[in-house]
């Protein structure tokens, strides 16, 4: 669950899975380099694994995994410490979700939308109605991807599609006095909301709806 205070969380609805319309799930950067090892990992983000896994276990759900992957001299390392370098353990999808990763898009920046590999998938993605975005980090890769995707839908007047963010399936990292997870989560969530992205507490299923 995104680290936010309870009052902030409770303003958002719960979404029954049955109300989704032909969903496509994106799983962003659920790799070792953000969850288990390396300069940017935060073990508290492990809490979002279970709800993402439960969503991916739904029969016939379609998903695309976004994987951060950089060469050693990546330009991005001017802003962030080295992370998710190619052929390291950091750029590997975490073990719990790896079995679901049958479709993978790699990115060399914080924004998967500008990846040429992702751009090539847009005609395929047009067949889906609900774009569900999960993973990390809320205020960086999730925020940029969701805003760009939503803007692209607006630009092309694709009124049959919507972008949905379930808060139990996203989070960001915390560094004391540098990057406050609670504040960054709340800021990025609010920013996505005011731009027209659908924010929900979580997705529920028939057995616990």
- pTM for the predicted model, two decimal places: 0.96
Residue 138, pLDDT > 60, answer yes
Going by C-beta distance under 8 Å and a sequence separation of 6 or more, which residues neighbour residue 42?
34, 35, 171, 172, 173, 174, 181
User: What average pLDDT does range 53-68 have in this prediction?
Assistant: 95
User: What average pLDDT does range 169-186 have in this prediction?
Assistant: 94
Residue 102, pLDDT > 80, answer yes
Query: What local confidence, expressed as pLDDT, does residue 3 receive?
Result: 92
User: Do 31 and 84 touch, CB atoms closer than 8 A?
Assistant: yes
Query: What local confidence, expressed as pLDDT, does residue 125 receive?
Result: 93
**What percent of the chain is predicted at pLDDT more than 90?**
93
* DSSP state for residue 23 in the 8-state scheme: E
Written in H, E and C, the secondary structure of the chain is CCCCCHHHHCCCCCEEHHHCCCEEEEEECCEHHHHCCCCCCCHHHHHHHHHHHHHHCCCCCEEEEEEECECCCCHHHHCCCCCCECCCCCCCECCCCHHHCCCEEEECCCCHHHCHHHHCCHHHHCCCCEEEEEEECHHHHHHHHHHHHHHHHHHCCCCCCEEEEEHHHEECCCECCCECHHHHHHHHHHHHHHCCCEEECCEECCCCC
Query: What local confidence, expressed as pLDDT, does residue 109 receive?
Result: 97
Query: What local confidence, expressed as pLDDT, does residue 177 receive?
Result: 86
And the tokens for 209? 């709806």
CATH class of residue range 6-204: alpha beta
User: Do 44 and 185 touch, CB atoms closer than 8 A?
Assistant: no
Query: What local confidence, expressed as pLDDT, does residue 29 receive?
Result: 98
User: Do 67 and 93 touch, CB atoms closer than 8 A?
Assistant: yes
User: What average pLDDT does range 62-88 have in this prediction?
Assistant: 96
User: What average pLDDT does range 125-143 have in this prediction?
Assistant: 97
Query: What local confidence, expressed as pLDDT, does residue 68 receive?
Result: 97
Residue 207, pLDDT > 60, answer no
Q: Where in the chain are the domains? A: 6-204
Task: Give 3-27 pLDDT, tens digit per residue.
Answer: 999 999 999 999 999 999 999 999 9
Query: What local confidence, expressed as pLDDT, does residue 209 receive?
Result: 44
Mutual angle of helices 181-194 and 143-155, in 10-degree steps: 0
Residue 208, pLDDT > 70, answer no
Average pLDDT, the chain: 95
């Amino acid at each position: 669950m995104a680290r936010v205070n309870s009052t902030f969380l409770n303003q958002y609805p719960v979404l029954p899975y049955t109300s989704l319309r032909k969903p496509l799930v994106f799983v962003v950067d659920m790799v070792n380099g953000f969850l288990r090892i390396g300069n940017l990992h935060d073990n508290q983000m492990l809490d979002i694994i279970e709800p993402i896994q439960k969503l991916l276990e739904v029969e016939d759900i379609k998903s695309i995994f976004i994987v951060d992957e950089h060469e050693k001299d990546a330009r991005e390392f001017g802003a962030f410490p080295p992370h998710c370098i190619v052929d390291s353990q950091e750029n590997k999808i975490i073990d719990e979700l790896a079995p679901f990763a049958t479709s993978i898009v790699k990115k060399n920046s914080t924004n998967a939308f500008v990846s040429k590999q992702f751009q090539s998938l847009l005609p395929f993605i047009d067949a889906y109605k609900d774009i569900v975005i999960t993973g990390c980090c809320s205020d960086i890769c999730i925020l940029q991807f969701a805003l760009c995707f939503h803007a692209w839908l607006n630009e092309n007047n694709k009124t049959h599609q919507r972008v949905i963010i379930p808060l139990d399936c996203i989070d960001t990292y915390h560094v004391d006095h540098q990057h406050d997870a609670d504040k960054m989560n709340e800021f990025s969530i609010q920013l996505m909301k005011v731009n027209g992205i659908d924010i929900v507490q979580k997705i529920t299923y028939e057995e616990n709806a």
